[in-house]
Amino acid sequence: METVTETTTESETGTPVHRGTVRLFDKTRPLLLECGQPLAPVEVAYETYGRLNAEKSNAVLLLHALTGNARAATFGAAAPEPSGWWNGVIGRGRALDPGRYFLISANLLGSCYGTTGPASIDPDSGRMYGTAFPPVTTRDMARVQQALLEHLGIARLRAVIGGSLGGMLAWQMAVDVPELMQQVVPIAGSVAASAWVIALNEVARQAIFLDSDWDGAQAADRARIAPEGLKLARMIAMISYRSEVSFEQRFGRQRLFRERDRRFDRQNRFQVENYLHYQGEKLLRRFDPFTYLTLTRAMDWHDVSRGYGSMEAALQRIHARVDVIGIDTDRLFPAAEMRQTVKRLQQLGRSALYHEIQSPHGHDAFLIEFDQLNALLTSILEVEDESVEIRRHIGGG
């Protein structure tokens, strides 16, 4: 393992912030993917906040969503861009307090924010991988996360917490490496992709394939392709990330211009149309179409029972305490689906509880409802913290 880049700073509040990129696999020790192909080198961009305690017992792994990155939090006025995707729950006095926990956030395998993925340079061709990047799964992602933890000298995690695709990966890690964590908190993410998730992802991918600039044969030679297709893919996805209640409350039938003589003007969009176009254009400035294809396919292939014979056999492997957080208006990963998984775990004799965010914002509520999320995560983590202190007090492990 080779450190590629590394910086450590201290925030205005005294929080140590470490940013690094490490090469975890190389030609002498490639990552053998679940599809059977070797991948090397594999570099991972990651950030940590806080300090690992002497017992190495306070490490919490955070797993990001589809278009997320390693920057889970930013600290101070001089913090670099982009801002942290979970600033609302990370910080002094919040649920994920870096004064209490050693927080680790790494860009997922196959992404485009510093970790090896289709936007990386293929060492064999000297060109961007593009469509030549091999298929990756949440199991492959889990192996890379585990390799990073080994690099950091962490054998056991206090908790693994992830949302959406990160929630799927949290389930995968809980099943594949059950001794790795005390607690797992999947948020709005399932044990297997449903037909609904697969259908939405496929429609979004087709938007990219049908783009006038898409050329699969020569895609790896082009730095930027399928801009309109990626924009449309994001617009489609945003409808599934929010809810009809959210759209109605925020936009209703409002238009860009209120003048009566413009009511049939095609340039006078509805505000909800304008919002979708804005979100699509915003993603174009920061994401890559090959990455979108790679990660949505990883979501589709996600099924923790693969290789274990049945879902029950897979769930029985989980040793960690499970706290699932659902969202009452989530249309992508419905709350009923989350509750059903918890019920199955309880029937198997596993320690599992269901918690719910009440919000009009749909799937994206875990990136919006920070007051509720802080309260839930605080209560969830404190239960395990208290049990650890009791065991220590009576001389247990």
DSSP assignment of 81-110 equals SSPPTTTTTBSTTSSB-TTT-EEEEEPPTT
Give pLDDT tens digits for 340-382.
999 999 999 999 999 999 999 999 999 999 999 999 999 999 9
DSSP SS3 for 379:
helix
Residue 109 burial by Cβ neighbours in a 10 Å radius (0-12, 13-18, 19+): buried
For residue 393, pLDDT over 50 is answered with: no
Q: Do 186 and 218 lie in a common domain?
A: no
Confidence of residue 220 (pLDDT cuts 50, 70, 90): low
Q: How many CB atoms lie within 10 A of CB 23?
A: 16
For residue 237, pLDDT over 50 is answered with: yes
Query: What local confidence, expressed as pLDDT, does residue 77 receive?
Result: 58
Taking residues 111-125, report their average pLDDT. Answer: 95
Q: Do 31 and 164 lie in a common domain?
A: yes
> Which of 285, 301, 317 is where one domain is finished?
301
- Residues marked as catalytic: 164, 330, 363
For residue 218, pLDDT over 80 is answered with: no
Name residue 185's beta-bridge partners. Answer: 161
The region of weakest confidence among 44-48, 162-166, 253-257 is 253-257
Query: What local confidence, expressed as pLDDT, does residue 221 receive?
Result: 57
The region of weakest confidence among 60-64, 70-74, 219-223, 271-275 is 219-223
> Which of 301, 325, 350 is where one domain is finished?
301
DSSP assignment of 135-183 equals P--HHHHHHHHHHHHHHTT-SSBSEEEEETHHHHHHHHHHHHSGGGBSE
For residue 395, pLDDT over 50 is answered with: no
What number of helices (H) and strands (E) belong to the chain? 10, 11
End-to-end Cα, the chain, rounded Å = 31
Q: Do 188 and 366 form a contact (C-beta atoms < 8 A)?
A: yes
* 256 Cα distance to chain centroid: 34
CATH number at residue 279: 1.10.1740.110
C-alpha atoms less than 13 angstroms from C-alpha of 297 in its C-beta half-sphere: 20
Q: Do 111 and 16 lie in a common domain?
A: yes
For residue 261, pLDDT over 80 is answered with: no
Confidence of residue 222 (pLDDT cuts 50, 70, 90): low
Confidence of residue 227 (pLDDT cuts 50, 70, 90): confident
Residue 14 Cα distances to 82, 91, 99, angstroms: 21, 11, 9
Cα–Cα dist 254/243, whole Å: 17
Query: What local confidence, expressed as pLDDT, does residue 267 receive?
Result: 85
> Can you state the angle between helices 138-151 and 165-176, rounded to 10 degrees?
70
Q: Do 40 and 55 lie in a common domain?
A: yes
Give pLDDT tens digits for 48-86.
999 999 999 999 999 999 999 999 999 875 567 778 999
Query: What local confidence, expressed as pLDDT, does residue 391 receive?
Result: 42
Query: What local confidence, expressed as pLDDT, does residue 178 receive?
Result: 98
Q: Do 171 and 272 lie in a common domain?
A: no
Residue 282 Cα distances to 67, 88, 157, 162, 232, angstroms: 12, 21, 35, 24, 12
The region of weakest confidence among 36-40, 244-248, 262-266 is 262-266
Taking residues 273-288, report their average pLDDT. Answer: 95
For residue 326, pLDDT over 90 is answered with: yes
DSSP SS3 for 219:
helix
* 87 Cα distance to chain centroid: 15
Give pLDDT tens digits for 156-209.
999 999 999 999 999 999 999 999 999 999 999 999 999 999 999 999 999 999
Q: Do 325 and 265 lie in a common domain?
A: no
pTM exceeding 0.85: yes
Confidence of residue 10 (pLDDT cuts 50, 70, 90): confident
- Please provide residue 323's backbone torsions phi and psi, each rounded to the nearest 5 degrees: -125, 105
Query: What local confidence, expressed as pLDDT, does residue 305 receive?
Result: 98
> Which of 238, 269, 301 is where one domain is finished?
301
Query: What local confidence, expressed as pLDDT, does residue 214 receive?
Result: 83
Q: Do 226 and 208 form a contact (C-beta atoms < 8 A)?
A: yes
Q: Do 307 and 368 lie in a common domain?
A: yes
Give pLDDT tens digits for 94-117.
999 999 999 999 999 999 999 999
Q: Do 63 and 185 lie in a common domain?
A: yes
Query: What local confidence, expressed as pLDDT, does residue 64 receive?
Result: 98
Q: Percent of the chain at pLDDT above 70?
A: 93
DSSP SS3 for 10:
strand
For the chain, the domain total comes to 2
Q: Do 151 and 103 lie in a common domain?
A: yes
CATH number at residue 179: 3.40.50.1820
Q: Do 320 and 381 form a contact (C-beta atoms < 8 A)?
A: no
State the residue for tokens 């659902």.
Answer: 326
- Joined together, the tokens standing for residue 323 give 């706290």
Q: Do 47 and 69 lie in a common domain?
A: yes
Q: What is the mean pLDDT of the chain?
A: 92
Beta carbons within 8 Å of 369's beta carbon, 6+ residues apart: 357, 359, 361
Which residue range(s) make up the domain with 246?
194-301
Taking residues 212-218, report their average pLDDT. Answer: 69
Q: Do 5 and 21 form a contact (C-beta atoms < 8 A)?
A: yes
Q: Do 172 and 207 lie in a common domain?
A: no
Cα–Cα dist 178/58, whole Å: 17
Q: Do 137 and 272 lie in a common domain?
A: no
State the residue for tokens 């990963």.
Answer: 333
DSSP SS3 for 79:
coil
Confidence of residue 120 (pLDDT cuts 50, 70, 90): very high
- Joined together, the tokens standing for residue 78 give 């001089």
DSSP structural state of residue 239: H
